[in-house]
Structure 1
Amino acid sequence: MARSLDTHEQTSADESESDPTDDVYAPEIEGKQYRGTWYLPLPYDQLSEAPETDDYPTRGTGGTFRIADLPRVPRVRHIVGPSALMLGASLGSGETLFWPVLIAQHDWTLYWAFIIGVFTQFFINTELQRWTLATGESIFRSFLRVRQFWPWVFLIGGLVSLGWPGWAAGAAQVAVTALGLTGSVSAVGVSLANWKLIAIGLMGVIWCSYQISSVMYNAVEAFQITLLFVATGAAILLVFVSNAFTELATLPSNVLNGSSTIPSGMDLAVFLGGLAFAGAGGYLNLSQSLWAREKGYGMGNYQGRVKNPLIGDDPELIERNGFTFRPVERNLRRWRGWWRVIQLEHFLTFVVGLIFVATVLMAVSVRYASGTASGAITMWLVQIAPQIGGLGTVLVFVVLFIALFTTEYAIVESFVRNSADALYETYGRDADWELSRLFWRLLTSFVVWGILIILLFTAPFENQEPFFFLVVGAALSGIMMWPYTVLTLIINTTRLPEHLQPGWFRVVALWWASSLYGYFSSLLVGETLSEITGLGVFETTATVLGSAPAGYVIWVVFFSVQTYAIVRSVLGKRRAAGTVESAELTNGLFS
């Protein structure tokens, strides 16, 4: 929903000085506007420009921010959406593929790593929303304010890691197996495997779903939430039908009595992929910022949404330079309220939903495929489904198909939305491109690209396919998470004023997150370079000591980056301390 403000309603710098006892939380009728995304356009050119003082975000290489009041805070039930999309992106990656097969192979000894991965991503994802909540700008715009090349780095990384329709192919494999449609069809002398027809059809469904709403995000959110309800219900039924709840009963003792180390001989690519996909992972996580803007979180309420250029609605303007608010008592209390609400939305939807669904599926895999040496899709279809039989087999097919399809859907959405924003901010805006048309063209191109890849595949399901390619993509996603976590940490502690910065608890959490992904990325890079070149000079060891010469160089890069990030964040926090009056109003354990 969007509406214009009359002159007497305009949010301005002067209004920020009004009664600080004004309600912090939005009334019910106002909060409900967020359920379908809410856009509240302001007369941008008439708003005051924020001065370059400690009260406002640092401009960096960008222009000035405009001053407006922070909108009133809706309730959690009004803003559910972005985290549901992230959960949908996670279902077909970590929750039905990586972690069930890892737990089946190593029993519950790796469950600790899954929990750590989920909570680590909770802090990363919410911090990716901080800049958007504070300014209305996307995370790519914040990266651009640091250096021009950063959006390009992540765009290329996203294409390499997500540019393959492995999840659509996997969903098609499930469908042909469930329906007994293995084989091919022939027409005009051309033979096409049935799985390819289904996979192409799924890509077409994704494209068509965007054409039913004038606001692209609304269609995706409605579609994904519906699929999530079906998948979650089917997963719950599966646990009881398969008697896997007995495994859940022993989970606490197995975890407490198990080892907290990585099993010897474990594939580092698989482990790093599991950490990255204890959630959505990689390029997908960056979408959290854009979904928050589309939903209308915080100052994002004043930015436009990506509209479908085919529907006929007028486009909504994404301002080059975002908004900020005066740190007066009313706005500070609203900021604290907004920060609590988005954390609750992400925790209750993403964290709780992720842990619940993944754990029950792990219980099924442990019960029926303990010690498996198969890839994840083969494990579910060949080992687990036939053993359960009857309704249980049907439920396995339903859960696996929906999980893979929702992930492919989220990958298309995430890649296109992120890439459109990155291209628009770095080049398209100055070239007078229209963001909505750029989004639509990228959507169409990405779907066509996926269809071409599917058509060119000759034997995608032999041996480890397509799980092998998913492992590669997941490992690349894990490597990508290190630089953008470091960059987000530095931006949020040095570019934002005191009252908008993360508290020390969250700063330490980001130190941990960047160290975790940086450490395993360094190990994987050393191992991969050694295998590719056949030269042991790149080898890295888990203990660091004993690495080969070039391996030590890799470790030096890792420790140098981490040291720089920690020092910059500490200096940023210390420099900002005491610079904003009443900043303590926004303080909290998870501020």
Structure 2
Amino acid sequence: MSSDSSDDENRPPSPADGSSAPGAGDDGGGEGRERPSDHPARGDEVYASEVEGRQYRGTWFLPLRYEELKRAGETDDYPDRGDGGAFRLTDLPRVPRVGHIVGPSAIMLGASLGSGETLFWPVLTSQYGWTLFWAFVVGVLTQFVINTELQRWTLATGESVFRAFARIADHWPWLFLVGGLVSLGWPGWAASAARVGTAALGLTGSVTLLGASIAAWKLIAVGLMVVIWLSYQVSSVMYNAVEVFQIGLLFVSIVAAVLLVAVSGSWVELADLPAAASAVGSLPPEMEIAVFLGGLAFAGAGGYLNLSQSLWAREKGYGMGNYQGRVKNPFRGDDPEPIERDGFTFRPTTTNLKRWRGWWRVVQLEHLLTFVFGLFLVAPALMSVAIRYAPGTTADALQMWLGDVVPLLGPAGRILVFLVLFVALFTTEYAIVESFVRNSVDAIYEVYGREAGWDLETLFWRVLTGFCLWGIAIILLFTSPFEGREPFFFLVVGAAMSGVMMWPYTALVLVMNTTRLPEHLQPGWGRVGAMWWASGFYGYFSVLLVGETLVEFGLGSFQTVPLVVGSGAGGYVLWAVYFVVQSYAVARSAGAKRRAAGTVDDAELAAGWFP
């Protein structure tokens, strides 16, 4: 049982200068300097004042004298340190309002709009009607659980999910980095946005530049990559620039999508949506597994992108992430902010337990009101337009919009289609660059760069520049946006790979959050069950997809069938791997929950809405 609940020992010292701490804003200055008595963890208050809460809007970092803080012991009260150093003890900051912490989920919503919600799902519903909408709802709600569980470790310790993975084994961050490069390492969304832009402006030819003939779409696509790179230079805190740009772009795309429904008259198609409830759980017999798994992954962001929720939460200052630094622009002249290798934790005092309950509530609401509701607003709107104007289409996504839908609309409708597509695709490319760079930099830094003495800010800038240059090179080398391939082919492949990646990290996060967090920080049984569902769901369809892919490569023994019985010899091996992994995840998480029960006094004070 927990025995030490002293608030006095748990209170952190004042910041490094002994008298003040930075507030919000790009340069850490915010609305001025706060007094030591205004420290966002001191006192017995659970909720932050309005003035204090507003500091989160520009991200908030509160430095502490890290080396002077007490170390957490290896007891039931604190997270399991695993393969890493001890956590430092301090109090959990007071809880701000939901409106003060909006940001991470808005970026995730932007990553979703140009992939699944603008391209993938409108094509599927135009082909199959509303009968597949149930899968979209399942995918979004499943990702809600996964994304918030990805934030749990960061909220509790201030560490990123990649640092948490490294505490388990160093190979995990590398494996997910490679998966992210394979699935996101191509500037397809910038190329697609450029294709929309050239169609809207009538620039279908080539431009002669320095004696070379370059397709107009290439120049626009290169320009978009340059704009993304330049946007990071306007703020001393890299994350702040992304958040501001993404929220602005989201506002434009959402308003345009709603206006498009009104102008096109497609709102009448929404009346058929309730009747689709009878199709829940069924799939069209001709539908490929890769397409369905891609739909599940792209009902939201999917794959490597989802892992960014942890890093964005740290940058925003959620929970114990408030004591970790932010990635700064190395050329703005500001002092770097330390991101400690071994994070923070708090004693399970009455005040801290109530604050955890409050933090968990506002983090879930931020994701629900921004990510989930945003998807449920935009996606059905665009699906209704596709159903009305391109029923049964056989074209790829962009061709459906530009070739089937646009010619049937009036001038206002055509402008809105171009606007929605261009902004949504550009928003997605922007989020992909941000997500890939931030995730990869953190993985490299935590596994290797920190010990090698690398500078985090410089590493971020170099990877950002290199990734943008890589994208520009790919754009210029291709003779067409997709080298003679249909865009939807690449969309399916990338989405399916994202879905396969979600299986192992969902199972890993489930086991990590139950075996390495103490009773009061663990997910409740409802969430554990939801994560069992998520890992089982993605794992099941991943096995079907892997088996189907191996058969296409001539390995017929790896055939897998939905009912398992009737699979090939190699297919049974794949199913055995699936059942072993799933059984391990279920057994480990359930056992950890049972063993933790009753080990921390008053742990029930931390439980709240969907804990």
Q: Please state if 1:542 is matched with 2:553.
A: no
The residue that corresponds to 1:315 in the other structure is 336
The residue that corresponds to 2:578 in the other structure is 558
Q: What code does the residue aligned with 2:102 have?
A: V
Residue from 376, 395, 402 that aligns with 2:397: 376
Structure 1 residues 212-227: aligned runs within 5 Å: 212-227=234-249
The residue that corresponds to 1:367 in the other structure is 388
Structure 2 SS opposite 1:285: helix
The residue that corresponds to 2:123 in the other structure is 101
Shift of 1:96: 0.5
Q: What code does the residue aligned with 2:99 have?
A: R
Residue from 441, 452, 462 that aligns with 1:441: 462
The residue that corresponds to 2:307 in the other structure is 286
Residue from 261, 266, 277 that aligns with 1:244: 266
Q: TM-score with structure 1 length normalisation? A: 0.96
Q: What code does the residue aligned with 1:484 have?
A: Y
**Conservation of the 8 A alpha-carbon contact between 2:130 and 2:272:** no
Q: What code does the residue aligned with 2:488 have?
A: F
The residue that corresponds to 2:214 in the other structure is 192
Shift of 1:487: 0.5
Alpha-carbon deviations, 1:438-472, whole Å to 9, x = none?
00000000000000110111133576532321221
Tell me the distance in 2 between the aligned counterparts of 1:577 and 1:462.
57
Shift of 1:249: 2.3
**Conservation of the 8 A alpha-carbon contact between 2:47 and 2:95:** yes
Tell me the distance in 2 between the aligned counterparts of 1:433 and 1:264.
53
Q: What code does the residue aligned with 1:392 have?
A: G
The residue that corresponds to 1:482 in the other structure is 503
Q: What code does the residue aligned with 1:227 have?
A: L
Shift of 1:389: 2.4
The residue that corresponds to 2:182 in the other structure is 160
Shift of 1:23: 1.4
Tell me the distance in 2 between the aligned counterparts of 1:239 and 1:494.
47
Tell me the distance in 1 between the aligned counterparts of 2:102 and 2:208.
46
Residue from 183, 199, 202 that aligns with 2:205: 183
Shift of 1:9: 8.0
Structure 1 residues 486-565: aligned runs within 5 Å: 486-532=507-553, 534-565=554-585
Structure 1 SS opposite 2:560: coil
Task: Indicate how the Cα distance of structure 1 residues 20 and 582 shifts in structure 2: closer, same or farther if over 3 A, else same.
Answer: farther
Shift of 1:170: 0.3
Tell me the distance in 2 between the aligned counterparts of 1:40 and 1:7.
12
Shift of 1:257: 3.5
The residue that corresponds to 2:28 in the other structure is none
**Conservation of the 8 A alpha-carbon contact between 1:184 and 1:194:** yes
Aligned-residue Cα RMSD (Å) equals: 1.5
Structure 1 residues 228-377: aligned runs within 5 Å: 228-253=250-275, 255-258=276-279, 260-377=281-398
**Conservation of the 8 A alpha-carbon contact between 2:134 and 2:277:** no
Q: What code does the residue aligned with 1:198 have?
A: I
Q: Please state if 1:578 is matched with 2:598.
A: yes
Tell me the distance in 2 between the aligned counterparts of 1:308 and 1:21.
34
The residue that corresponds to 2:3 in the other structure is none
Tell me the distance in 1 between the aligned counterparts of 2:136 and 2:427.
21
Alpha-carbon deviations, 1:385-425, whole Å to 9, x = none?
11112100110000000110000000000000000000000
Structure 2 SS opposite 1:447: helix
**Conservation of the 8 A alpha-carbon contact between 1:375 and 1:464:** no
The residue that corresponds to 2:34 in the other structure is none
Shift of 1:252: 1.4
**Conservation of the 8 A alpha-carbon contact between 1:276 and 1:478:** yes
Structure 1 SS opposite 2:283: coil
**Conservation of the 8 A alpha-carbon contact between 1:169 and 1:466:** no
Q: Please state if 1:56 is matched with 2:57.
A: no
Which deviates more from structure 2 when the two are superposed, residues 256-265 or residues 301-310? Answer: 256-265
**Conservation of the 8 A alpha-carbon contact between 2:58 and 2:240:** yes
The residue that corresponds to 2:421 in the other structure is 400
Tell me the distance in 1 between the aligned counterparts of 2:43 and 2:322.
22
Residue from 32, 44, 59 that aligns with 1:37: 59
Tell me the distance in 1 between the aligned counterparts of 2:209 and 2:595.
70
Q: TM-score with structure 2 length normalisation? A: 0.93
Structure 1 SS opposite 2:552: helix
The residue that corresponds to 1:149 in the other structure is 171
Tell me the distance in 2 between the aligned counterparts of 1:21 and 1:259.
51
Tell me the distance in 1 between the aligned counterparts of 2:592 and 2:278.
42
Q: Please state if 1:414 is matched with 2:435.
A: yes
Q: What code does the residue aligned with 1:550 have?
A: G
Shift of 1:7: 4.7
Shift of 1:185: 1.1
Residue from 151, 166, 178 that aligns with 1:129: 151
Tell me the distance in 1 between the aligned counterparts of 2:247 and 2:552.
42
Q: What code does the residue aligned with 1:154 have?
A: F
Q: Please state if 1:467 is matched with 2:478.
A: no
Which deviates more from structure 2 when the two are superposed, residues 444-453 or residues 187-196? Answer: 187-196
Residue from 389, 396, 402 that aligns with 2:410: 389
Q: What code does the residue aligned with 1:444 have?
A: T
Alpha-carbon deviations, 1:208-254, whole Å to 9, x = none?
0000000000000000000000000000100010001101122112x
**Conservation of the 8 A alpha-carbon contact between 2:500 and 2:538:** yes
Alpha-carbon deviations, 1:19-55, whole Å to 9, x = none?
9982111000000000000000000001000000000
The residue that corresponds to 1:4 in the other structure is 15
The residue that corresponds to 1:72 in the other structure is 94
Structure 1 SS opposite 2:207: strand
Shift of 1:270: 1.5
Tell me the distance in 2 between the aligned counterparts of 1:192 and 1:21.
64
**Conservation of the 8 A alpha-carbon contact between 1:92 and 1:404:** yes
Structure 2 SS opposite 1:186: strand
The residue that corresponds to 2:45 in the other structure is 23
Task: Indicate how the Cα distance of structure 1 residues 21 and 204 shifts in structure 2: closer, same or farther if over 3 A, else same.
Answer: closer
Structure 1 SS opposite 2:520: helix
Q: What code does the residue aligned with 2:96 have?
A: P
Which deviates more from structure 2 when the two are superposed, residues 469-478 or residues 281-290? Answer: 469-478
Q: What code does the residue aligned with 1:498 have?
A: E
Tell me the distance in 2 between the aligned counterparts of 1:264 and 1:169.
33
Which deviates more from structure 2 when the two are superposed, residues 560-569 or residues 372-381? Answer: 372-381
**Conservation of the 8 A alpha-carbon contact between 2:192 and 2:481:** no
Q: Structure 1, unaligned stretches of length 5 or more?
A: none
Alpha-carbon deviations, 1:294-353, whole Å to 9, x = none?
000000000000000011111100001000000000000000000000000000000000
Tell me the distance in 2 between the aligned counterparts of 1:65 and 1:584.
23
**Conservation of the 8 A alpha-carbon contact between 1:374 and 1:464:** no
**Conservation of the 8 A alpha-carbon contact between 1:55 and 1:580:** yes
Structure 1 SS opposite 2:348: coil
Alpha-carbon deviations, 1:169-206, whole Å to 9, x = none?
00000000010000111234311100000000000000
